[in-house]
Amino acid sequence: MKALLLIETVGLDKIINGDPVAITFFIGYMAMFASAVFFFMERSQVDGKWKLSLLVSGLITGIAAVHYFYMRDFYLATGESPTAFRYVDWTLTVPLMCVEFYLLTKPFGAKGSTLFKLIVASAFMLVTGFIGETSGIDNNIMWGVLSTVGYLYIVYEVFAGDIAKLAKGSNSEALNRAMFLLKIFITLGWSIYPIGYMVLPGNLLSGMFDVSSIDLFYNMADAINKIGFGLVIYSVAVSETAKARLAKS
């Protein structure tokens, strides 16, 4: 009981004293929890073919909210980066974000093979990244390069692969607008993760930033990317639903 009280007191001090990392863990948890509730509630407002997309958006932010709850407590209690919790979160949510690309283009002809390739690429990116972060300084760069290969394949699919071709041939203004926004998330929003990795000791950008601040960047990137992904999917679902209902009337 005394140990628990000590942890709560230390955690409260971090938040009261303005520790930005502690604050972003708390904000990230609340923002993603609220987003999950929103996406689950809004499923009833869109056509059936878009309900699964909003369900996945809710799962992404819901899973992230649960992990952020535990990551927040871990950081408040230890002051250390919750690397293992974060990679478990990413291992579940990043493939689901790839699923969103498939679901977004499925009404326009996306195939299961495209989904399989995206999931394999995301899993490869995360597994090699985790090995690189936890296997020691000597292996950082090698595993980082391998992880980047998985990331670049996802970028290729979105910009020039099957996903890009389907979006271009869909004649859907809403889908093309969404793909434009998702490309921004993939290139700018996701770029914070390899940059954070390269700041680690022994890596290419070692010493450029304070390693202790990496969680601050990760927390903000997670919230923006996961909630932003969901909102983009939501906008397409609402737009396409309204168009379909107007055509029926």
- Domain holding 186: CATH number? 1.20.1070.10
Tokens of 162: 């099957």
CA 215 to CA 79: how far, in whole Å? Answer: 11
Higher model confidence: residue 212 or residue 166? 166
pLDDT for residue 6: 45
Q: Amino acid identity, residue 96?
A: L
Domain that holds residue 208: 2-248
Lowest mean pLDDT among 13-22, 55-64, 90-99: 13-22
Whether residue 85 is predicted with pLDDT greater than 50 in this model: the reply is yes
Tokens of 115: 């989904």
- Average pLDDT score over residue span 99-106: 85
Q: Choose among 121, 120, 92, 99: nearest CA to 32.
A: 92
Per-residue pLDDT of 12-25, as tens digits, reads 555 546 688 888 99
pLDDT for residue 89: 95
Average pLDDT value for the chain: 84
Burial class (CB in 10 A: 0-12, 13-18, 19+), 93: buried
Tokens of 244: 């379909």
Per-residue pLDDT of 105-118, as tens digits, reads 887 787 888 889 99
Burial pattern 77-90, b for ≥16 Cβ within 10 A else e, equals beeebbeebbbbbb
- Average pLDDT score over residue span 174-199: 82
Structural domains in the chain (count): 1
Lowest mean pLDDT among 81-90, 98-107, 207-216: 207-216
Per-residue pLDDT of 197-249, as tens digits, reads 777 766 666 666 666 678 888 898 899 899 999 999 999 889 888 888 888 87
pLDDT for residue 92: 94
For residues 227, 230, 232, 238, the Cα torsion angle rounded to the nearest 10 degrees is -130
Helix (H) or strand (E) holding 116: helix 112-134
- Average pLDDT score over residue span 189-203: 76
Per-residue pLDDT of 17-59, as tens digits, reads 668 888 899 899 999 999 999 999 999 999 888 899 999 999 9
